Each structure stands twice: as structure tokens, then as C-alpha cells.
Structure 1
């Protein structure tokens, strides 16, 4: 849920692009090359970028530039960690903008909404659960794989609607848009929790935020 088709003013385009560019630059400098060199991880990362752009296209229009669709960013962040996720989701934003004729002036805003904010929030929730909750596999699966996903995806929808209301006050938001967004987020949380459980069992290499030494050893 981004702002792809309603052009932003030059002022807002620059104001939103600046923090997005700084966060992306920091993520690029912080990426550990060894993570992508693990078997199948790079392929999974590239495939996830393409899938994100396709998932965003399967949407239900609410307003000309407000669409409800699966987010996918919380799962991406759990799979690859904050830095790789910010880079990957940013590439997906560029691909979506290019493939579906989005407005390039909105690129910074969409990277901020879809990559930077959710990935930072997902990383924060992961660290807080590790700090305050027992280091157990089920805490990871339910705390991060379900409830964390619920909060992260809700933040994407909520921040997009809020920013859109501030930038385009003349476009009235439908009264039931938030309710439908939360229902979709709830359903996606179940789906992502299911996928995270499968990956933790059969493809743990794809979950870079899942550490066997923390969650399994000695349990």
C-alpha cells in the first residue's frame, strides 16, 4: 500500500526522499556479503523481490491511489533481516514503479513507507522480544511471525493512509477503508505465520533472523 500514481509536490517529494535515501545508503553499507553467499539465499532474495511487485499488483482499488493488497514486507524483513530487506524492498518499489507506470517523484515516499518504516519496526520488535521474552522457538513464531507481522503490516497501511490524508486532504478516505485494511492485515498475519513456521523447519537458511543457537540449543 504505497502512493504510486498521485504526484507529490516537489517539496514533499524531496522531504520524503531525503530520509529514505539516507536509510537506504545506511542499509547498503551495512549489508553483509556473507549472508547472500549462503546456499539458495541469494536466489530466494531475488525471487522475493519479483514476487513483491507481483503481489502489490493484485489489489482492490479503494480510491485512484489507494489500493488494498497483501503487503509482504514483514515476511521479507523476517527472512532477510533489516538491511537486506530495505535494499530488496526498495528494488521492488523501483520495479513496480517502472513496470506499472508509477510516478517517479513518489519513489522516495514509497521506499520510506514500504521499506524503511516496516523494516525498522520489524527489527525493533525482534530485538525487544529477544530482550524481554524467553528465547524459545514458539516465541519467535508467534511473537514475530504472527503478532509482529500484524503490527508491521498495520503500520504500513496506517502510515500510508495518514500520509495520503495529509498530502491530499481533498480526497476523502472512505469510512470503512481502515477496517478492511485491518481485516486484510489479520489474514496476512496468519499466512505469514504459516510460512515462517514452514521455513523455520524446512528452509531455516531463508530465515536470517532465526538463530538456532538462540531458539533451539539447550531447549
Structure 2
């Protein structure tokens, strides 16, 4: 628990230093938005707080042979950005502990760190690497696919699996599943997370790009001169 508490406090301090509330106060409009439009991030933020705690608490609300775990952290990261996603994901863990009598505060902290903060941070780092490639003129018109396939789909699978493996190394094993089978289960669950994240991000890019704080028309749509 000390490791999880330290990681949560470190991530929260770094996120607060970036003053994430500014994203909610005023969002820089995209190319297709009216100048001075209010932030649209309240919608994904409130949806996250309303839906994700139940997904995290579900394994403790029902007895199942395999406690399927859905993270959703990479989707939250893509929608809100890392500084805002960190406090929101920590709040999701706290709400999950309130709605599930079988989830202790220590377990909720572990969920918030290993299913929330860690995969979101890994997705942030992966996104920085992909943005460097997406910013080159050579990629041209394939840049939207870099975002949807690279960050939302394949990136989610990789980040969620790595975070799950780290949590297992820290002692958080899946109940009733052997250590080697736990890695297989985490790999399969990571792809479930990736499918949902990739599908929703593809829809949002097409119809609601203002719900994606990490999406940029300038970076992913407009060609740059070399």
C-alpha cells in the first residue's frame, strides 16, 4: 500500500502543478469550433465519474471465477489529458470504494494506481513518442490513423497490459488464477480495453473531437511543410 500511496501522491502533485482546472475553465477552440467556445470536457469528465466506478467495482459486486477488470484509463487520458485524468482517476477509485461494500480503501487505492494512473501515464509517454512521428511531413494523410490505431487501439493494449504486469509484480494477483495464467488473462483483458477505446476514439474523432483533449486538427489533419 505504501508503494501505491507514493505513486498516487507523486502523480497528483505533478498533475496539480500543471493546473488542470484551466482546461475546464476555458479550452482553446479547435479549427472547426467557434472562437471562445466553452470547454466541452465537462461531458467526458462527468461521464467518467458516473460510469467508470461501477466498472472498477463490478468484480467485487459479483462472485465470478475470473474477475474481469476493465481499466478505461487510456480512454480517460485521451479525452481529458494527463493533468486532468490523474485526479479524475483517483476520484473514480474513491467512488468505487463507496459503491462496493466488498472493496476496501486499500484495494481502491491499488485500483486507482494500477488500473488508472499507471496506464494513463504510460499512454502519455507513448503518445509523446507517436506525436514526434506524426509531426513529420512523411506521414502525410495517415496521421489520423496514427492517433486512432497507434494511441487509442494498439497503444491501449500495450499500456494496460504493461500496467497489469507491473501490478502483478507488486503483489496484486488475480484471485483464483495462477501467476502464469494471470499474465495471459491480463493480455486478453487489455485487448478488450483496446477495442472499446479504439472504437470510441474513432467515433469521437469523426463526430465529437472536442471531447478529446489530446486530439489536434493542426497535428493530425493538416500537412506541414518540411
Aligned position for 1:14: 2
Give per-residue Cα distances to partners, 1:32-84, cap 9 Å, x unaligned: 33321344311320211221111223347457xxx322211111111111111
For the aligned residues, what is the CA RMSD?
2.5
Q: Which of 12, 16, 21 is 1:24 aligned to? A: 12
Note closer, same or farther for the CA distance 1:126–1:42 as it changes in structure 2 (3 Å cut). Answer: same
Instruction: State the SS of the aligned residue for 2:150.
Output: helix
Note closer, same or farther for the CA distance 1:172–1:70 as it changes in structure 2 (3 Å cut). Answer: closer
Note closer, same or farther for the CA distance 1:35–1:185 as it changes in structure 2 (3 Å cut). Answer: same
CA contact (8 A) 1:62 1:177 kept: no
Q: TM-score, normalised by structure 1?
A: 0.80
Q: Which of 194, 200, 210 is 1:195 aligned to? A: 200
Structure 2 residue ranges without an equivalent (≥5) = 26-37
Note closer, same or farther for the CA distance 1:200–1:178 as it changes in structure 2 (3 Å cut). Answer: same
Aligned position for 1:218: 223
State yes or no: 1:137 paired with 2:147: no
Note closer, same or farther for the CA distance 1:107–1:18 as it changes in structure 2 (3 Å cut). Answer: farther
Instruction: State the SS of the aligned residue for 1:69.
Output: coil
Aligned position for 2:44: 44
In structure 2, C-alpha distance between the alignment counterparts of 1:200 and 1:121, rounded to whole Å:
22
CA contact (8 A) 1:21 1:108 kept: no
In structure 2, C-alpha distance between the alignment counterparts of 1:186 and 1:28, rounded to whole Å:
31
CA contact (8 A) 1:165 1:173 kept: no
Q: How many residues align?
A: 201
Structure 1 residue ranges without an equivalent (≥5) = 1-12
Note closer, same or farther for the CA distance 1:138–1:172 as it changes in structure 2 (3 Å cut). Answer: closer
